[in-house]
A and B are shown apart, each in its own frame.
Chain A
Amino acid sequence: MRILPWLFLLLLVALALSIGSAGLIGFDSQSAVLWQIRLPRVLMAVLVGAALASAGVMLQGLLRNPLAEPGLLGISAGAAAGAAFVVLPLRLWFPELDIVHWLLPLGAALGALVFASIILLLSERFGWQDNVAVILCGLALNALAMAVVGALLVLADPLATRELLFWNLGSLARASQADLLLLLAVLAPAVCLWWRLARQLDLLSLGNEAAESAGVDTQRVRRQLLISVSLVAGVAVALTGMIGFVGLVVPHMLRLWKGPAHTSLLALALPCGAGFLLLADTVARVAIAPAELPIGVITALVGAPFFLWLIGWRQRGLS
């Protein structure tokens, strides 16, 4: 049963590789379109989808709230603000410098970390028991970060503004080999950590004190999770822009399907998140070829109604 989602993902990868604006192609070892354009993009969709969905699982478990998502808590927006802070002045002063491309993930990860730290500090200051307060605080930070990005966009030169705006919409098109390695280098240790923390998240669903009485160091779990989630989300946002709904819809779907135990959720979120984003990106590439839809548009178009349907279905199931 565990293997099935991975097989399905493999099938999707094959499908995504073979179709696109250049038409249907077979597995030709010489094809530049296949190996240099489609493959990096497909792999990026797989990694980012897995990253966003599994980060969503962990964040929801930590906050005991199915609505938590890096996007909702302002972590993604913090990454965007961090990236804008790094990119816009540098583009202004050193328009020729290639290093900007490399500093962007760094700025985004830093921005995400700063915002996660603010959430962490505020929640520890005010007492963590009230998770709704944490989520509201995330919403406020989200608005703040978007305001910062908006202000920077107006102040910056038009070229950089265009670059940033496009990036904000989210796109997997520019994936390079180095980008893939960077994301993998952040995601792999994070998933190992999350795997170890998954059972502790099950205990946390009984509440902080009950978890502590069962031997869970709640403060350490909270810190490790917020930092790792913001690093992963920050780098993912830096490389592909803000892609919403993956971290919200995929974990929710899986929870309805397989129950809320975090070990199995995490194991499923990796292939299913990857598959979801890959499917969305393939639709984005093919739907109005040769033009492209922004990936964020697809995930929201699919995600939002599906999410509403799930909530309705769940309510009916309970009554």
Chain B
Amino acid sequence: MLSVTGLGLKKSQRVLLDGLDWQLSSGQILAVVGPNGAGKSSLLKCLAGLWPSTSGTVSLADMEITSLSLTERAGQLAWLPQQSQVAFDFTVAQVVALGPQQAHIEVMQAAMRAFGVLEYADRSIAELSGGQQQRVHLARVFSQLNSSLAAVQCLLLDEPLNGLDIRWQQRCLAEAREWLAERPQRYVVMALHDLGLAASRCDQVLVLNEGMIEFMGAPEALSEELLEKVWQYPLTIQRGNADNNYRTLVYPK
């Protein structure tokens, strides 16, 4: 169980998160959605233990995140920042190798293949486009997950689909799902902007607004009224079964 109790966060007098309470069962993907500035990234950083919360706790399998040492945390939680920038002219293969432990070469190559960056392995990451760079960072995080030394339980992805075209968006979600299914006691939390993807590909949806929870539950329970209230924009939800694939679309009225 990944559980958040009374989580609050203040930075320079501004309330970023306010009294969050929720739980996520293992084997599930939680989509964190909300308007710009709702507190999605702040929540993910608190979950990763990078920002100490002002109040409340985050616990992973009954262990409080803040009680873990830095190395223990690095072994159990993997976090992909919203924007990854590499300071020097590293090659793609070198960036993928950056992590708490050096993953096995075959694991890294598999991750690079999964995100279609193996052919750029020896190129400087600075030469790639934004979306390609994001795929390199996804390969970096996933090769850490699959490293034999790591025992990552919780995968935190902050807007992982940024800059990805539709094919790689689907691939990223599929990879996360595959990792989740491999072993019990695993959790995925991702901040997303695409409400349709959040509703059709994730098990739980957390709607944040101004640092507070507006909704937490299965995507089927999302209502148009709620979305319109939170995003302050007229929105329509269309649900349907196409080829036995349950899909949800959210689009402007």
**A122 on the B face (CB < 8 A):** no
Q: How large is the interface on B (under 10, 10 to 19, 20 to 34, 35 or more residues)?
A: 20 to 34
Q: Is the CB of A260 within 8 A of B88?
A: yes
**B77 on the A face (CB < 8 A):** yes
- Of the listed residues A206, A207, A213, A216, the one surrounded by the most CB atoms of chain B closer than 10 A to its CB is A213
**A202 on the B face (CB < 8 A):** yes
Complex Cα–Cα for A261 and B98 (A): 10
Say which one of B31-39, B79-87, B110-118, B187-195 lies at the interface with A. B79-87
Q: Is the CB of A213 within 8 A of B79?
A: yes
Q: How many inter-chain residue pairs (CB < 8 Å) link A and B?
A: 67
**A177 on the B face (CB < 8 A):** no
Q: Interface residues of A, CB < 8 Å — how many? A: 22
Residues in B whose Cβ lies below 8 Å from that of A14: none
Chain A minimum-CB-distance residue to B95: A206
Residues in A whose Cβ lies below 8 Å from that of B48: 213
Complex Cα–Cα for A65 and B88 (A): 8
Residues in B whose Cβ lies below 8 Å from that of A207: 81, 84-85, 87
A215-B75 contact given A206-B98, A209-B45, A318-B126, CB 8 Å threshold: yes
Complex Cα–Cα for A237 and B222 (A): 67
**B91 on the A face (CB < 8 A):** yes
**B180 on the A face (CB < 8 A):** no
CB distance from A240 to the nearest CB of B (A): 29
**A255 on the B face (CB < 8 A):** yes
Please, could you name 30 A-B residue pairs with CB atoms under 8 Å apart, sorted by A?
Answer: A64-B87, A64-B88, A202-B98, A203-B98, A203-B99, A205-B90, A205-B98, A206-B84, A206-B85, A207-B81, A207-B84, A207-B85, A210-B79, A212-B50, A212-B70, A213-B48, A213-B77, A213-B79, A214-B98, A214-B99, A215-B70, A215-B75, A216-B70, A217-B70, A259-B89, A259-B90, A259-B94, A260-B88, A260-B90, A318-B127
- Interface pairs A-B: 8 shortest CB-CB: A215-B74, A260-B88, A64-B87, A205-B87, A213-B79, A215-B100, A215-B71, A214-B100
Give the A-binding residues of B (Cβ under 8 A): 45, 48, 50, 70-71, 73-75, 77-79, 81, 84-91, 94-95, 98-100, 126-127, 144
